Chain A
Amino acid sequence: MVPINYYIILSAILFTIGVLGVLIRRNALIIFMSIELMLNAANLAMVAFGSIFKTPEGEQVFSGQIFVFFVIAVAAAEVAVGLALIVEIFKSKRSIDVDQMNSMKG
């Protein structure tokens, strides 16, 4: 069995890559992908913890895995909404560079 630490380290690496992607890249699609990366990093962590999460009597508890399904479902919905927004923004601005979307500047 692969030790749990590996999963956590992988998950942390993936999450960091996602964060850096969001912060560094200017393309909205890439940012979206980075967000998916962070979500999946969290999913990986939850599944990993869920595999070792047992009751005091030694029975397996699947709450981590179940939660991951919810996250995947919500992420799918979020992508649908997000992509629709990006399409609309592109229609009006002919660009999906997030640095040009600064009309909310105070």
Chain B
Amino acid sequence: MYLAETSTAFAFLAPWLVFAPVLGLLINMIFGKRLSEAWVGTIASLASGATFVISVLLAYTVSMNHGEVIRWRLAEWIHIGNLSLDWTFRIDSLSTTMMLVVSGVGTLIHIYAIGYMHEDVRFKNDPGRFPRFFVFLNLFIAAMMILVSGDSYLMLFVGWEGVGLCSFLLIGFWYEMDTLARPSWANSDAAKKAFVVNRIGDFGFLIAGFLMFWYLGNSFQFDQVFEAAKEAPSGIIVAITLFMLVGVAGKSAQIPLYVWLPDAMAGPTPVSALIHAATMVTAGVYLITRSAELYMLVPQAQNIVALTGAITALFAATIAVGQYDIKRVLAYSTISQLGFMVAAVGMGAFVAGMFHLVTHAFFKALLFLSAGSVILGMERGHHHAEHAHGHHEDTQGKKKEERGHDAHHEEAGAEHGEVFDPGDMRNMGGLRETMPVTYWLYMIGTLALAGIVPFAGFWSKDEILLDASLHNQTVYWLLTIAAFFTAFYMGRQIWMVFFGQPRHEAAAHAEESKPIITIPLMVLAGLSVLGGALNLPFEGFHNLGHWLEHTLHEVESLPLNLMVAGISTVLALAAIYISWLVYGRNPLRAGQIDPLKKALGGFFTGAENKWFVDEIYQAIIVTPFTKISYFLADVIDWRFWHDWFHETVVAGTYNWVSNIGLNVYADQKGIDAIANGLGTWTQAFSAILRKVQNGFVRSYALSVLLGVVFILGYLILK
């Protein structure tokens, strides 16, 4: 077999999945300050693009190899006793799928970010921060590649933590301000929240890892673990899989740990698209898919996973209905869609889950990036409006103009005393006219997300619903209702943002973005339209299914079920129609209360306030935790240990012993007395001896005589 011999030809490139972005970030880290923005962006994009090329070559290698797993051992990592851990790259159909999504979408977002960050750093008055963003972005690509290419749970965990770190760094990219660029610690609080909540999930993952190591053959390597799991008692597997679910809930933002993701929107929009929509948050879905063989052993754990996903999908979708921030709607939508994926992989529909992961990466990245374009357009419009005002009001305002527009921007803002939120949909409206390209791109993303034929989202969501209808009716209905809400909130967004009349001067003056921003979006839009072709529910078109079959072994390829597809499509169209009735027919006017509020009352208030989950967490977890911490710090540590035990008991005893016992008795009356006594005694003695030295030479002579007489007498008489 000629092909079999050459099939591992490109495997040697696997380490460069990690090294290429690391190289890129090193260059930008060292020379970034001196290079122009175009160079920094190009280097970072090339580094990311290189990983995409390598991913393509690796996928080609896998397909040439008929799906055989290729392991490329790079280095020994840990070697203790019998435990030997290597840094090995696992190249199979599942990992290459993830690599392609991460590097492909990642590269497009890198290119987009060149344009986006150029304006963002200027709106926020710190152009020097431009290279740092790309350093973080490349670091993220490297960490994500470690995650998806690892051949053991431990290597996966390294990447898992790495992407968590990058998420933290990028959410807190504008750490000294809030989302409206006012001085505040809101953004860094959001970053901390993401990190801490993820730590809770990581804790679960770690416990799962320990259990795995202890009970499943003292190994972290996937195949060895799966092999050992076949003989292990099911209780252990249930514990492992459920602890792993805690990790998944943290990273993939599932109930109850999803609360960090909406706040993560504090990061720049490319970050929201790359990390918090397309790639990092899907790591949990990837983890479950990777551990398919463990989950398949324990149906009861699978049920819990599926229900968690389905409930999250519905819960987050209802919250998205009541949000006003363009990115927050998408954030809750992401949580909801991740719920779909988790539900799918929970039911054992791994291909459907991965399929939705891929298409979701396309259309949610598209939506987020388009939302970024909208926000930039609003910023430009706001700037324009302010600028025009400045001209009108100050007739002698020439001095102000000369200072450059950033300073002017700030002053104008301060004068008006009003903070403009470019992401608030209540400020938008009518952007269809001013930002036509973005409008069409957003429309495509919306249709894909809402699940309208023939966009990518329809096929993947439909496959999940179909699997659910066969396996678990509860999950099926939860997801179907969630899909209804999905279509509704996306319809609401479209009507609020792009239709009607501008509700703010900024929206009226909004400007379309440059091609460097819109071209990556067009590519993503194309993928969102055509992505469904990866796995069409017709005989002979289950491409993704057959591809993943190599890794996942059992894959059922389901034919299209017109009943399921029909219900979901009808519901989606109905939802969009209702959203038109509410928001499209009578467009929102400036300052008007959301019409749904009257219609739905308590439900809308709940959704608007995120069902008070943050407040509930605050009340039942954060506040008691803070109180316990204060109690431990103030009472136990400070008052008890420090004040009482250390100061009173230990220090007091010590002082007493040293003062009374040692100082007074041992030192003053013992050692001091001896030393002083010696001195006094010597003085007294020498006072006597001094009298001998009377200076009379004859008395000395007499002493000599007496001495001689004494010695002689002794010598004679002895």
Interface residues of A (CB under 8 A from B): 19, 22-24, 26, 31, 98-99, 101-106
Contact = CB atoms under 8 A, between A and B. Distances in A.
Contacts of B598: none
B698 A102 contact: no
B601 interface: no
B692 interface: yes
A62 B179 CA distance: 123
A27 B183 CA distance: 107
Contacts, number: 32
Contacts of B692: 106
A19 B705 contact: yes
Contacts of A24: 698
Interface residues on B, range: 10 to 19
A22 B701 CA distance: 8
Contacts of A106: 690-695
A48 to B, nearest CB: 19
Interface in B683-718: 690-698, 701-702, 705
Nearest to A26: B698
A23 B698 contact: yes
A98 to B, nearest CB: 5
Contacts of A105: 693-695
A83 B409 CA distance: 112
Nearest to A106: B693
28 contacts: A19-B705, A22-B698, A22-B701, A23-B698, A23-B701, A23-B702, A23-B705, A24-B698, A26-B698, A31-B698, A98-B696, A98-B697, A98-B698, A99-B696, A99-B698, A101-B695, A101-B697, A102-B694, A102-B695, A103-B695, A104-B693, A104-B695, A105-B694, A105-B695, A106-B691, A106-B693, A106-B694, A106-B695
Given A22-B698, A23-B701, A23-B705, 8 more contacts: A19-B705, A26-B698, A102-B694, A104-B693, A105-B694, A106-B693, A106-B694, A106-B695
B715 to A, nearest CB: 17
Nearest to B705: A19
Contacts of A19: 705
A19 B697 CA distance: 13
B272 to A, nearest CB: 98
A89 to B, nearest CB: 11
A31 B702 CA distance: 13
A46 B697 CA distance: 28
Contacts of B694: 102, 105-106
Contacts of B693: 104-106
Nearest to A22: B701
A91 B698 CA distance: 22
Nearest to B704: A22
A22 B694 CA distance: 17
B638 to A, nearest CB: 66
